[in-house]
Amino acid sequence: MAYSLPDLPYDFAALEPHIDEQTLRIHHGKHHNKYVTKLNAALEGNEKYATQNIEDLMPTLAKLPDDIRTAVQRNGGQHCNHSFYWQCMRPAGQGNAEPTGPLAKAIDDTFGGFAKFKEKFTGTAGGCFGSGWGWLYLDQKKELAVTAMSNEYNPLMEGLVSETGTPLLVVDVWEHAYYLKYQNRRPEYLEAFWNVVDWDQVSQRYDQAMS
């Protein structure tokens, strides 16, 4: 089977003014689409390594044959991360503006409150040197953790990253995610990101992972 570009779960203009329509169109239709195309090309003739869901490909990357591993890891990782990033956002003003239920309590217990968590997440993602992703995830002890991973890496890549676990929230800090609107002002993009985080989805993900 071939991987395909997922539709966005909202309109291209739905995240305005925090994430602008032009950025979203290019990010999804050009950048993300390119990763999907290159992933399928890299797997040509090796379709047996493809999985039903892109997340299921991540723990197998370290064991792929040498001649396809780099291309599959880079483009597959980026396909996985972008697919997840779209799912972490929703139109501004819809749903809860903060985590709810057990996740809210866990954030309080782990980080000392929602404001402190936001500071930590923003600082960690903002401090990523070069291109990468800021993650909130559940570690192997089922405790909340925040990290930044460069390039295509994510916490599902067993054997390739030291911090593995279940992703709960991600923000893309590659320049293509914000440069048209924010230019070099990554911290402004990260502040704006909070207006479009889908906390209902993130809270549900936490509940599922803990059950």
Question: Among residues 40, 147, 172, 202, which is the contact residue for Mn ion, using CB under 5 A?
Answer: 172
Q: How far is the CB of 35 from Mn ion (least distance, A)?
A: 9
**Separation CA 31–CA 79 (nearest Å):** 10
Residue 23 CA from chain centroid, whole number: 16
> Is 152 an interacting residue with respect to Mn ion (CB under 5 A)?
no
Q: How far is the CB of 72 from Mn ion (least distance, A)?
A: 18
Which residue lies nearer to Mn ion by CB, 172 or 198?
A: 172
For residue 141, what are the contacts with CB-CB under 8 A and spacing of at least 6?
A: none
Q: How far is the CB of 122 from Mn ion (least distance, A)?
A: 18
**Segment near Mn ion (CB under 5 A), from 11-19, 95-103, 165-173, 193-201?**
165-173
If we measure between CA atoms, which residue out of 175, 112, 174, 177 comes closest to residue 146? 112
201 phi and psi, to 5 degrees?
-65, -45
**Separation CA 94–CA 75 (nearest Å):** 32
Q: How far is the CB of 173 from Mn ion (least distance, A)?
A: 9
Q: Which residue is nearest to Mn ion (CB)?
A: 172
Which residue lies nearer to Mn ion by CB, 89 or 177?
A: 177
Q: How far is the CB of 65 from Mn ion (least distance, A)?
A: 27
- Inter-residue contact 132 to 153 (CB < 8 Å): yes
Strand partners, 134: 148, 171
**Segment near Mn ion (CB under 5 A), from 51-59, 109-117, 166-174, 183-191?**
166-174
**Segment near Mn ion (CB under 5 A), from 37-45, 57-65, 106-114, 170-178?**
170-178
Q: How far is the CB of 67 from Mn ion (least distance, A)?
A: 26
Question: Which token pair is 13?
Answer: 């203009």
**Separation CA 99–CA 89 (nearest Å):** 13
Question: Among residues 174, 178, 182, 199, which is the contact residue for Mn ion, using CB under 5 A?
Answer: 174
- Inter-residue contact 194 to 91 (CB < 8 Å): no
Write out the residues near Mn ion by the rule CB under 5 A. 172, 174, 177
